[in-house]
A and B are shown apart, each in its own frame.
Chain A
Amino acid sequence: MLNKKICMLGASGVGKTSLVKKFVDGIFSEKYLTTIGVKVDKKVVETANDKVQFMLWDIEGTDRYCGFNPRYLRGAAAYLVVVDKTRSQSLIDGDEIRKLAEEVTDSPALLILNKSDLEPMFTLDDPQIKQLEQHFIATIETSAKTGKNVEYAFHCLAEHLICSSES
């Protein structure tokens, strides 16, 4: 079974922790997020032919004024940039974070448009999104509240990583 380090990035309040909580049952308290800025959880994802264990590094919410610790991205097999569909600002922040991340890693990234259960401020057809999603291997709309596409997003990522490691 493959083990992969996956990082969750995104501005404050976009729902990273909720996504992870929806996905795993962790052993660590969330207070780690506020103390050292990261909390790690584990989840095994089964694909058609293989299994992969994700070590999910939920990194404390960041914005343009407060960068994240780039060390946390070190060795990550992939990272997810989470944006809040109800806040345009989170999209801008997401782009900033992507740029910061690309400075320290060339790992594949997934764009997650969270809170899809609420009234969106932008759609997938918006040029802003179109321009941003070029940098990602995929863009997935999720809802941590309803659970929509949460499993699917990680499943896609697992498939992608298995394929790329086999190639």
Chain B
Amino acid sequence: MTEPAPKPKQDDSIEPPIEKLRHILWGENSEKITAPVKQNARELVSDVITEALNDRQAADKSVDKVLQPVVETALERSLSSHSKQIIDKLYPLIGSLIRKSVSAFINDFLEKTNTLIENSLTPKSLIWRISAWRSGISFSQYVASKTFSFRAKQIFLIHRETGLLLHTTTEQSYANVDGDSVSAMLTAINDFVSDSFSEVKQEEQNLAQIKTDNFTLLIKLGPSAILAAAVEGSPPESYSDMLQIQLEALHKLFYRELDKFEGDVEPFSNSESQLRECLQSQLKEEAPQKKPWYAIAIVGTLFIWLSISGYQWSQTLHISNQLDELNNEPGYVVQDNDVKNTNQIALSILQDPAAQPLEDWLKNRAIDPSSIVLDQKSYISLHPEMISKRVSVILSSYDNISFEVREQNVFLAGEVDISKASNLVRRIQNLPGITHVDQTKLKSKLPPLTNNTVNENKDMLSNLIHLSIEKFNTYQVSFARASTDLTPDTKKIVDVIISDYQKIAAIAKRANIKIGLLVIGTSDAVGPDKNNQVISEKRANSILRYMLSQGLNEGSVHATGIGELNISDLNSEFRKALFNVVYFPE
């Protein structure tokens, strides 16, 4: 049997190997080891510095904190010593940033303007504005209620035990309500409900939601916190589930803070992102629009009816305007011209019987007479054209007579049968609107001789002579003061008298009627009566001599003077020779 090997006794004087190694590395002579490392330190560090910084930053985020003052100091020094270079480098960058910022601003401005216009000027928005006004809510609220099926306005994270508000977040456009008071009151109401309606005292009842017409307060209860969402519209079930999930996540995240809550809400400001996620909204799906056929039909019919009526009305107005032109037509006066309705005009006119017939006038202008309710009265127009027409009607039965109308004077020219002449003149003179008929250019002629002249009716010839000799009363030859000589002008008149007398003499011969021409000289009342008598006789004789020289038989003419005329209106100027035809039937 061998003895077991004795256990080696530990000797304190002998250094263990690890201590020996430590001594070599870090002891008095450590420089021998570290010196060669130091020589290569730069290379060694440069190999790993990037990775090392990355690892350390990932591990405890301490690198950026350490680097921050270094970078700041370096940047400051750079800016003060190399400002020009830095400005040059930053210049394009800043320019680009400014452009981007301006561009973003303009885009935002345009978008807002567009939204504003869309929400302000469309018919839909006007209707919405009226509806919002009637409902007593603001326009923006009404737009939101119409646009969104639901929209979370504000989210509250409330400490369940105390009812204190831990954090709240609101939708951008929504006016923040006093979250602290609302949270506390909400908790109080929940307590009230729970206490009032729990059948078993231990069994806690809790409000899950409070709902009004268009507003819902969704309440999610957790062990330590309450998540409440103020929602406009009707949130779907999925939104409620999402709130529950967020509440659970918040419990996990803020487990410690909730558990040891003593009224310090500061840590809960980190719940902002979770609460903001709950600020969801959902746009209303536009229902596929049905075509409002009935409305289209009614509006269409109305539109067509209005178009037709409008067209008819404009046509009628046009006709009415045309009818006003009737005032310019000779022989017409428009008294009234009213558009009764879309296709009828009440026309009241005065019409000269000699005027162009109204039917013709309408036809020339393509106006339908059926559209006119006519009230027509006759009148006599003094328009020269109307006078001409009336004269034309009389002269239509006479050949070779022309006429001219000037300022209510009718000038006749041509030849007329001596038996018809005076009748013609009388008829024209009797026409309305005529003050004088000039017949100096109207020559009277004898009816042509026929074979049965012998058998001519003596009465007819006698009448003819009667009519013809009336004309001699109208002939007068004037003399200058104290003169008895004939001027060329007066000779022309005397020539006409001679001619007429010869015609009458011819007719009288056929009728066996003896006639003679009487020439009567007169004098004015200037001077002694005796002298005036002599002058008047001389004037008559002067004409007699001329007549004889022109071929009248001496025995057929008798000249005499009657001295001055005792007619007060005439006696100062009456230096004349008058004519008369005297006759004796067989």
Contact = CB atoms under 8 A, between A and B. Distances in A.
B189 interface: yes
B163 to A, nearest CB: 6
Interface in B168-210: 178, 180-181, 184-185, 188-189, 191-192, 194-195
Contact of A42 (B180, B191, B262): B180
Most buried by A among B184, B262, B263: B263
Interface in A14-35: 26-28, 32
B168 to A, nearest CB: 12
A3 B180 contact: yes
Contact of B263 (A2, A32, A40): A2
A32 B265 contact: no
Contacts of A28: 181, 185
Nearest to B159: A75
Nearest to B265: A3
A5 B263 CA distance: 8
A57 interface: yes
B188 A40 contact: yes
Contacts of A72: 188, 191
A32 B180 contact: no
B263 A3 contact: yes
A140 B266 CA distance: 32
B263 A4 contact: yes
A74 B191 contact: yes
Contacts of B161: 74-75
B178 A55 contact: no
B345 interface: no
Contacts of A41: 181
B237 to A, nearest CB: 29
B517 interface: no
A131 interface: no
B247 interface: no
A38 B181 CA distance: 12
A40 B184 contact: yes
Interface in B96-125: none
Given A5-B164, A71-B194, A52 B188 contact: no
Nearest to A4: B263
B165 interface: yes
B195 to A, nearest CB: 5
Interface in B106-147: none
B294 to A, nearest CB: 50
B162 A77 contact: yes
A100 B262 CA distance: 23
A147 interface: no
A36 interface: yes
Contacts of B159: 75
Contacts of B162: 3, 5, 55, 74-77
Nearest to B266: A1
Contacts of A165: 262-264
Nearest to A35: B192
B263 A57 contact: no
A52 B191 CA distance: 25
Contact of B163 (A1, A2, A39, A55): A55
B184 A57 contact: yes
A37 interface: yes
A74 B161 CA distance: 6
What is the predominant secondary structure among interface residues of chain A facing chain B?
Answer: mixed
A54 to B, nearest CB: 10
B154 to A, nearest CB: 15
Contact of B180 (A53, A69, A77): A53
Nearest to A70: B195
Interface in A54-112: 55, 57, 69, 71-72, 74-77
A27 to B, nearest CB: 5
B163 A5 contact: yes
A117 to B, nearest CB: 30
A26 B189 CA distance: 17
B184 A55 contact: yes
Contacts of B164: 3-5, 55, 75
Interface string B33-44: 000000000000
Nearest to B165: A3
Contacts of A37: 192
A99 B181 CA distance: 28
B198 to A, nearest CB: 10
B192 A36 contact: yes
Contacts of B264: 2-3, 165
Given A3-B164, A5-B164, A77 B263 contact: yes
Interface string B146-166: 000000000000011111110
B586 to A, nearest CB: 143
Most buried by B among A1, A5, A161, A165: A5
Nearest to A36: B192
A10 B490 CA distance: 148
B191 A40 contact: no
Nearest to B166: A3
A32 B184 CA distance: 13
Contacts of B189: 36
Nearest to B204: A71
A105 to B, nearest CB: 11
Interface in B261-277: 262-266
A26 B188 contact: no
Contacts of A32: 185, 188
Given A3-B265, A5-B164, A40-B188, A71 B181 contact: no
Question: What 8 pairs between A and B have smallest CB-CB spacing?
Answer: A75-B162, A75-B161, A40-B184, A71-B191, A36-B192, A2-B263, A5-B162, A3-B164
27 contacts: A1-B265, A2-B262, A2-B264, A3-B264, A27-B178, A28-B185, A38-B192, A39-B185, A40-B181, A40-B184, A40-B185, A41-B181, A42-B180, A42-B181, A53-B180, A55-B162, A55-B164, A55-B181, A57-B184, A72-B191, A74-B191, A75-B162, A75-B163, A75-B164, A77-B162, A165-B262, A165-B263
Given A42-B178, A55-B181, 4 more contacts: A40-B184, A76-B162, A77-B162, A161-B263
Interface of B: 159-165, 178, 180-181, 184-185, 188-189, 191-192, 194-195, 262-266
